[in-house]
Structure 1
Amino acid sequence: MRRLMKLAGVALLALTLLGTGAGWAGWNLLHHDGPLAEPRAVVIPRGGTEAIASTLREAGVVADARIFALAAWWTRAEGPLRAGEFPFPAQASLRAVLSILREGRMVQRRFTIAEGLTARQITALLERVEGLVGDVPPLAEGAALPETYAYSWGDARAAVARRAMAAMDAALAEAWAARAPNLPLANPREALILASIIERETGVAGERALVGGVFVNRLRRGMMLQSDPTVAYVPGQGLPLDRPLTRADLDQAHPFNTYRIRGLPPAPIASPGREALRAATRPAETEFLYFVADGTGGHAFARTLEEHNRNVARWRALR
């Protein structure tokens, strides 16, 4: 009996040591440096642990897909593994990789909507953005705010488009609330239309308020705006002309031709940025009624038609 008890004690000690060794081996396996040579972002697919393990192995984040799958199963009580794009540091251990997939922040990507793009151009841009999914909802002209937007891999294009539209609503409301008194604009919609024209007229930041002042002066006097970008906007196509305007263009009768209509066109011609919205609602106080390109990327401004004609002659001489 005493011999049997001794043997049982030896067996129990052996099992304890074996369990301790296995536990230590498992701990070491989880915390050992991984094979990734330098930091890398990896898109983790949906489809379960096997697909995730295969992706990580192909990306060089883990050395063995089967061991990763075993480690994920062993630590399954800590939560599910997520799909998305994640940043992994160099030599990330299995423990670090699993923690990132369960709790880490996804990569924040960014794309920019430039000032002055039309709704059609913005739609095409959203369709090309890598990592977004789904269709772009219909965009009204001028509805999306030009800005840089952050997104994560797998976000919906519709959700990003809604954010851009909400941002425009907020920016327009802010600009309208801070507008100058006695503007010849009836509502925020008219301010948006004017801002879109200002945006297309000049890319020089310091000129926007002056251009806004010229157009506000002309609106107050009942003068035609005579803005080339409104003529270049092709109704129904949503794209500016890709050629210089001709006399025939200026003579064409359509609602956006401000050489033929008085006041504002019926809709925006592009998406204006925040500065153009400010220029429309808080224009410079000026006596200028005219402007023309000066050959340097900016414009020459004039108070009288005679002065304007001299500026036009100088511009034509430069061409």
Structure 2
Amino acid sequence: MWRNIASNALTLFIVLLVVIGGVIGWGKREYSAQGPLTEAICLKVESGSNFSRVSDKLEAEGAITSPAIFRMGADYSGKSTQLKAGSFLVEEGASMEEIIDVVTRGGASTCGTEVVYRVGVNASEYQVRELDPATQDFRTVAEFAPDEEIPAAYTRVRAEADTRFRVAIAEGATSWQIVDALRKAEFLTGDVEEIPAEGTLAPDSYEMRPGDEISGVITRMEAAQSARIASAWDDRASDLPYDTPEEALIMASIVEKETGVAEERPQVASVFINRLNQGMRLQTDPTVIYGITNGQGVLGRGLRQSELRAETPYNTYVIDGMPPTPIANPGEAAIRAALNPASTDYLFFVADGTGGHAFAETLEEHNRNVARWREIEAERAENQ
């Protein structure tokens, strides 16, 4: 009898092991299998939350099939204590394993609300934007200038811990414009004693936190620009008409201010380099304008003939060679165009009416392009 009991107990134990093994195997498959989400969602994890609350929220959103398996997966993967606060994008069909990786990885929130402070050449503005997780497109909910009344939408998101803040610097903004705009940024603190040297700040998008020091932001921009010019200088073409990275930066700033069409930058750079190589004056309006404004704002009108004739260090209609400093902060593409220009014989260019330019090798060809541009200007004036 005892032998039968022992045999039955052993059989039952084996069956239990098989069942437990099957359950564990099923749980592992469920944990790593494609999830039930049919549309991406933005999961907000509050500060001080835990995996129990997160799993309940995910089940309510239809993102997981089993809160218990989700929590056990966090335990067995050693991530149960690594939950991060923030707003996280959970993709369509994300597995429980993938979701746990998203909410424990750290870093900036990947969805939700962001405040973008855009520093432009003509003006600066705040944009409050919310990500639609289904389309992954941002929807602008508020826009306002630094000197305008702060809207309620900004006040609301300003107080939320998971709101992302970015400062986006436009290519071609001057150092004075950038510092002036940062001083007006409500979420930044402190100041800088001196305006950084022209051309030394990298136009880009920078993640911020409310309370960050302006001086720290400037340091990041300077480091990024220094790295860009160093890398481009190492990869430069041969036989360029300048001997130092600083001179290349001056050329890059001129290229930046002369065209907003990305694919034109190497051709524009080739025009000025060809002129330097042939001993011709650069004759570029943006340098003259910089000599008038010193980079402090925009001129807001056309150049006068007296200004084109005036002898200033930045009037390239009068001086030979390049001006003494950059005239703006060029982006990486303009820097690389200045150091790897297109191989052309162009010596002239003028607007072509499409937003780009018509290039020419001879003065005769250039004069025809100028005449065509004057016709376009006249037609537009008549239609206004």
TM-score normalised to the size of structure 2?
A: 0.56
Alignment of 1:231 onto 2:288:
yes
Deviations 1:194-221 (A, max 9, x none): 0000000000001000000111100101
Structure 1 residues 118-133: aligned runs within 5 Å = 118-133=174-189
Change in CA separation of 1:267 and 1:41 when aligned onto 2, cut-off 3 Å: farther
Q: Which residue of 1 aligns with 2:321?
A: 263
Deviation by residue 1:112-150 (Cα, 9 ceiling, x = unmatched): 110000111101221122321100342111110000001
Deviations 1:54-88 (A, max 9, x none): xxxxxxxxxxxxxxxxxxxxxxxxxxxxxxxx748
Does residue 1:286 correspond to 2:344, yes or no?
Answer: yes
Please state how far the C-alpha of 1:39 moved relative to its aligned partner. Answer: 5.1
Question: Whole-Å Cα distance in 2 between the matches of residues 130 and 282 of structure 1?
Answer: 40
Asked which structure has the greater RCO (Cα within 8 Å, sep 6+), the reply is 1
Give the Cα separation in 2 of the matches to 1:277 and 1:167.
Answer: 13
Q: Which amino acid aligns with 1:115?
A: E
Q: Which has the larger radius of gyration?
A: 1
The one-letter code matched in structure 2 to 1:273 is: G
Secondary structure at the aligned position of 1:154 is classed as coil
Match of 1:116 in 2: 172
CA deviation string 1:299-319 (max 9, x = no partner): 000000010011111111111
Q: Which amino acid aligns with 1:267?
A: T
Alignment map for 1:1-319 (pairs within 5 Å): 87=86, 107=162, 108-138=164-194, 139-234=196-291, 237-239=294-296, 240-319=298-377
- Which residue of the partner structure matches residue 57 of structure 2? none
Letter in 2 for 1:120: W
Cα distance between partner residues in 1 of 2:168 and 2:107? 25
**Does the CA-based 8 Å contact 2:291-2:315 persist in structure 1?**
no
178-187 or 104-113, which moves further after superposition?
A: 104-113
Query: What residue in structure 1 maps to residue 146 of structure 2?
Result: none
Residue deviations 1:252-301, cap 9 Å, x none? 11010000011000000000000000010000000101001111111000
- 3-state DSSP of counterpart to 1:264: coil
Q: Offset of 1:104 from its aligned partner?
A: 9.3
Scaled by the length of structure 1, the TM-score of the pair is: 0.67
8 Å contact from structure 2 (residues 250, 323) kept in 1: yes
Query: Do the aligned partners of 1:137 and 1:161 also contact (CA within 8 Å) in 2?
Result: no
Distance in 1, matches of 2:291 and 2:316, equals 13
Quote how far apart the aligned CAs of 1:170 are. 0.5
SS at match of 1:233: helix
| 2:103 alignment partner in structure 1 | none
Structure 2: state its 5+ residue gaps: 1-42, 48-84, 89-105, 109-160, 378-384
The aligned counterpart of 1:72 is none
Q: Find the aligned partners of 1:104 and 1:275 in 2 and give their Cα distance.
A: 28
| RMSD (Å) for aligned C-alpha atoms | 2.3
**Per the alignment, in what secondary structure is the counterpart of residue 195 of structure 1?**
helix
The answer to whether the 8 Å contact 1:126/1:136 transfers is no
Q: Which has the higher helix share?
A: 1
Q: Does structure 2 conserve the Cα–Cα contact (< 8 Å) formed by 1:111 and 1:129?
A: no
- Distance across 2 between alignment mates of 1:314 and 1:235: 29
Q: Gapped runs of 5+ residues in structure 1? A: 1-37, 43-85, 90-102
